[in-house]
């Protein structure tokens, strides 16, 4: 349990703040002098004079929510595609599914992010879609590789000979065998989504101008870094803690399962 | 597959990828709300002025016509003219290429040796204190956003300690002020170093356990030689391919790092061009960045094919 302590705490602080922060944001959104630090403002005020702590309490939801939703969407789209590509006996189907993704890989993800974000109205849903598209090729590849290895197994061959339908073999057997590979990938995929969502918000993508958002806070308050660093440091620390914590926690979880279940 | 055949196939795929990137980027910029005519018209847009500007800029013609024209000209090295300024797109790219290449080159020059050292050290002390420290740190910082880490470093080292300048503002050549480059390079190398050193470590652990390394030890070869000449070459194949994926991270990182440290490179040019809807500049930059990505990936795939011909190469 001890080894979960630090990673767990790193995840818990930002996630709890994101989930329950808005309930405690009693400071109101009244405006004071910009980048000041005075009584009533434990971490000072931001670039337009709002209370930094209140903004921190309000601004975690978007990063966490968008990252979770984008990761979920990625798997929802990518796993069926990978399953079909890995199980099909027609080379053409496999190629038709994979080649378009090769093209996607050739577009630098930050370029795609900037273009899509500029082309569409700034909204969370657009951001979720963009992050899903960027992560798609990798997850399809991983699922395909997982499906490929068990689709060639004697068990699947036997099921085929017994006349089981491809759907039943795919969902009932191959997909379940893929779960372990996918679980190993989940942690990095989720932090990858956090990375993209936060970087996008920092570059001004997918956040409404007035909205409270940790990444956008960092961007908007960095002009006052010399006057009032808390408005930048606090959200930056929370984002770093979330990213580091999620990666370490998933790693500990997987290692624990590995040592318990000999493979 | 023989090497020449593989090369031809891979080259063709690369050309198709770049062409498709051009089409995708063109389609996306077409979908941008407003266009350069609106941008140039300024704060008080008058419909007649906008219509006139559109005609002058050729924006009133169908999209596919402009796309075909652009591709033909680009093949002759002509990327067109910026819509919002007097400069040729090729000149804008040329002017901003320097700082970005400097940043990326410096980062790679530090990342490659450092991740080799970290990976080899960790693998040699497998399970020990140094190994646990290196594996935990490289895993933890694997996907920390550059902007968050960058601004934390700026707060500590530029604002509080005043060791380095907080931005590159102040004019002059970047190389003549090396202190300016320290923080940007540190921020940029963070993610690549994590992934590369982990791969080197994993490869080294396998190699050190393998029969040929134990045999080399048994016949009494010097330990350093066993490490560097026998184990390491076998350990770096996966890292070579990851180095190619790192280009994508570097490009993304460069955009963010240039924004934080106000460096006039490709990333800054891209962000400016996207926000001012300067289609020719966006297209030119997109093609340059996509070409770099495609070429590096191609080189890595070919290198992997040469190093390990038996192994199935991803494409």
Chain B nearest-CA distance from A163, in A, is 32
Q: CA torsion sign, A170 to A172 to A175 to A177?
A: negative
Residues of A with Cβ-Cβ distance to B270 under 8 angstroms: 111, 114
Chain B nearest-CA distance from A179, in A, is 22
CB A245 within 8 A of CB A7: yes
Residue B58's Cβ-side half-sphere holds a number of Cα atoms within 13 Å equal to 13
- A141 to chain B: closest CA residue: B314
- Average pLDDT rounded to a whole number, residues A130-135: 88
**Alpha-carbon distance values, A176 to A181, A183, B176 (Å):** 10, 11, 59
pLDDT band at A117 (very low <50, low <70, confident <90, very high): low
Predicted pLDDT of residue A74? 92
Instruction: Give Dmax (Cα) for chain B.
Output: 86
CA A244/CA A236 separation, integer angstroms: 12
Chain A nearest-CA distance from B150, in A, is 9
Phi, psi of B88 (to 5 degrees): -75, 145
CB A234 within 8 A of CB A56: yes
Q: According to the CATH classification, is domain A2-260 in 2.60.40.10?
A: no
CA A114/CA B136 separation, integer angstroms: 32
Predicted pLDDT of residue A259? 54
Chain A nearest-CA distance from B33, in A, is 6
Predicted pLDDT of residue A231? 84
| Interface pTM, i.e. ipTM | 0.82
β-strand partners of A45: A51
Predicted pLDDT of residue B42? 66
Question: Out of B17, B139, B256, whose CB is closest to A103?
Answer: B17
Chain A nearest-CA distance from B194, in A, is 12
Residues of A with Cβ-Cβ distance to B256 under 8 angstroms: 110, 199, 202-203
Q: What number of C-beta contacts closer than 8 Å exist between A and B?
A: 146
- Which helix (H) or strand (E) segment is B246 a member of? helix B237-261
pLDDT band at A114 (very low <50, low <70, confident <90, very high): confident
CB A129 within 8 A of CB A113: no
Chain A nearest-CA distance from B52, in A, is 24
β-strand partners of B194: none
CB B266 within 8 A of CB B62: no
CA B58/CA B79 separation, integer angstroms: 15
List of domains in chain B: 32-61 (no CATH), 89-314 (1.10.3720.10)
Residues of A with Cβ-Cβ distance to B29 under 8 angstroms: 115, 119
CB A22 within 8 A of CB A60: no
pTM over 0.95: no
Highest mean pLDDT among A63-67, A207-211, B90-94: A63-67
Q: Measured in Å, how far apart are chain B's first and last C-alpha atoms?
A: 12
**Alpha-carbon distance values, A253 to A1, A4, A259, B189 (Å):** 11, 9, 10, 28
CB A188 within 8 A of CB B143: yes
B147: its two tokens: 């902007």
Please tell me what DSSP assigns to residue B157: I
pLDDT band at A240 (very low <50, low <70, confident <90, very high): very high
Contact check, Cβ <8 Å, A102/B255: no
CA B233/CA B227 separation, integer angstroms: 9
CB A150 within 8 A of CB A83: no
Residues of B with Cβ-Cβ distance to A219 under 8 angstroms: 147
- Residue given tokens 């006349």 in the structure block: A163
Contact check, Cβ <8 Å, B145/A198: yes
- pLDDT of A59 > 80? The answer is yes
- A164-189: per-residue pLDDT in tens? 887 778 777 787 778 877 877 888 88
Best mutation target, B17, B104, B151, B255, to test chain A (most A CBs within 10 A): B151
pLDDT band at A108 (very low <50, low <70, confident <90, very high): confident
CA B238/CA B198 separation, integer angstroms: 10
Chain A nearest-CA distance from B149, in A, is 7
- pLDDT of A261 > 70? The answer is no
CA B289/CA B287 separation, integer angstroms: 6
A247: its two tokens: 């990666």
Chain A nearest-CA distance from B166, in A, is 10
Instruction: Give Dmax (Cα) for chain A.
Output: 77
Residues of B with Cβ-Cβ distance to A115 under 8 angstroms: 25, 28-29, 274, 282, 286
- Residue given tokens 């000149």 in the structure block: B91
Which residues of chain A are at the B interface, by a Cβ-Cβ cutoff of 8 Å? 102-103, 105-111, 114-116, 118-121, 141, 188, 191-192, 194-195, 198-199, 202-203, 215, 218-219, 222, 225-226, 229, 232-233, 235-237, 239-240, 243-244, 247-248, 251
Contact check, Cβ <8 Å, B152/A225: no
Residues of B with Cβ-Cβ distance to A237 under 8 angstroms: 152
Question: Could you state, in chain order, the average pLDDT of each consecutive group of 10 residues for chain B (315 residues)?
Answer: 78 83 76 64 70 72 78 78 79 85 88 89 85 86 87 86 79 73 89 87 84 83 80 77 78 86 86 78 84 82 68 40
- pLDDT of A1 > 70? The answer is no
Task: Give alpha helix (H) positions in chain A.
Answer: 5-24, 52-58, 61-87, 91-106, 109-119, 124-151, 154-161, 166-169, 175-202, 214-221, 230-260
Phi, psi of A35 (to 5 degrees): 50, 40
Residues of B with Cβ-Cβ distance to A120 under 8 angstroms: 31
**Alpha-carbon distance values, A17 to A58, A200, B129, B233, B315 (Å):** 8, 21, 33, 47, 44
SS3 A51: strand
Residues of B with Cβ-Cβ distance to A107 under 8 angstroms: 21, 24-25, 286, 290, 293
CA A207/CA B9 separation, integer angstroms: 42
DSSP per-residue letters across B161-221: S-SS-SSS-S-S-STT-HHHHHHHHHHHHHHHHHHHHHHHHHHHHHHHHSHHHHHHHHTT-
* pLDDT, chain A, mean: 81
Among A232, A203, A50, which residue's Cα sits nearest to residue A130? A203
In chain A, where the domains are located: 2-260
Residues of B with Cβ-Cβ distance to A106 under 8 angstroms: 14, 17-18, 20-21, 290, 293-294, 297
Predicted pLDDT of residue A107? 77
CA A8/CA A250 separation, integer angstroms: 10
Give the total residue count for chain A: 263
């Amino acid at each position: 349990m001890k080894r979960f302590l630090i990673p767990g705490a790193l995840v818990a602080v930002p996630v709890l703040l994101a989930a329950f922060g808005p309930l405690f944001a009693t400071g109101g959104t009244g405006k004071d002098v910009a980048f000041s630090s005075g009584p009533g403002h434990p971490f000072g005020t931001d670039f337009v004079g709002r209370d930094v702590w209140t903004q921190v309490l309000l601004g975690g939801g978007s990063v966490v929510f968008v990252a979770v939703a984008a990761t979920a969407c990625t798997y929802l789209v990518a796993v069926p595609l990978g399953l079909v590509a890995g199980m099909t006996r027609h080379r053409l189907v496999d190629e038709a599914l994979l080649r378009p993704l090769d093209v996607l890989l050739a577009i630098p993800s930050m370029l795609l992010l900037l273009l899509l974000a500029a082309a569409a109205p700034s909204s969370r849903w657009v951001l979720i879609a963009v992050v899903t598209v960027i992560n798609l090729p990798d997850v399809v590849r991983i699922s395909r590789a997982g499906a490929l290895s068990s689709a060639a197994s004697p068990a699947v061959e036997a099921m085929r000979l017994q006349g089981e339908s491809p759907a039943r073999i795919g969902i009932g057997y191959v997909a379940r065998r893929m779960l372990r590979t996918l679980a190993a990938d989940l942690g990095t995929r989720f932090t990858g989504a956090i990375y993209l969502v936060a970087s996008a918000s920092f570059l001004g993508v997918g956040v409404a101008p007035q909205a409270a958002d940790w990444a956008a806070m960092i961007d908007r308050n960095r002009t006052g870094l010399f006057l009032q660093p808390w408005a930048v440091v606090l959200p930056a620390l929370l984002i770093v803690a979330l990213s580091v914590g999620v990666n370490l926690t998933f790693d500990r979880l997987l290692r624990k399962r590995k040592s318990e279940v000999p493979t | 597959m023989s090497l020449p055949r593989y090369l031809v196939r891979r080259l063709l795929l690369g050309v198709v990828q770049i062409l498709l990137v051009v089409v995708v980027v063109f389609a996306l910029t077409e979908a941008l709300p407003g266009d350069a005519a609106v941008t140039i018209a300024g704060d008080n847009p008058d419909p007649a002025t906008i219509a006139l500007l559109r005609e002058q800029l050729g924006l009133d013609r169908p999209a596919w016509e402009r796309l075909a024209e652009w591709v033909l000209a680009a093949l002759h090295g002509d990327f067109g003219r910026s819509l919002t300024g007097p400069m040729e797109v090729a000149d804008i790219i040329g002017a901003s290429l320097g700082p970005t290449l400097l940043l990326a080159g410096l980062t790679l020059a530090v990342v490659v040796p450092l991740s080799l050292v970290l990976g080899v050290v960790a693998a040699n002390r497998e399970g020990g204190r140094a190994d646990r420290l290196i594996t935990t740190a490289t895993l933890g910082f694997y996907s920390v956003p550059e902007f968050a880490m960058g601004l934390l470093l700026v707060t500590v080292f530029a604002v509080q300690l005043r060791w380095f300048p907080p931005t590159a503002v102040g004019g002059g050549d970047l190389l003549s002020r090396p202190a300016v480059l320290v923080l940007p390079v540190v921020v940029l190398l963070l993610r690549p170093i994590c992934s590369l050193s982990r791969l080197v470590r994993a490869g080294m652990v396998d190699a050190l356990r393998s029969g040929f390394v134990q045999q080399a030890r048994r016949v009494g070869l010097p330990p350093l030689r066993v490490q560097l000449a026998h184990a390491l070459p076998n350990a770096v194949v996966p890292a070579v391919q990851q180095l190619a994926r790192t280009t994508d991270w570097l490009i993304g990182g460069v955009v963010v790092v240039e924004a934080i440290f106000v460096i006039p490179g490709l990333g800054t040019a891209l962000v400016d061009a996207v926000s001012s809807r300067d289609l020719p500049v966006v297209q030119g930059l997109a093609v340059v960045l996509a070409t770099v990505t495609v070429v590096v990936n191609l080189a890595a795939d070919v290198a992997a094919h040469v190093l390990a011909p038996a192994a199935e190469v991803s494409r």
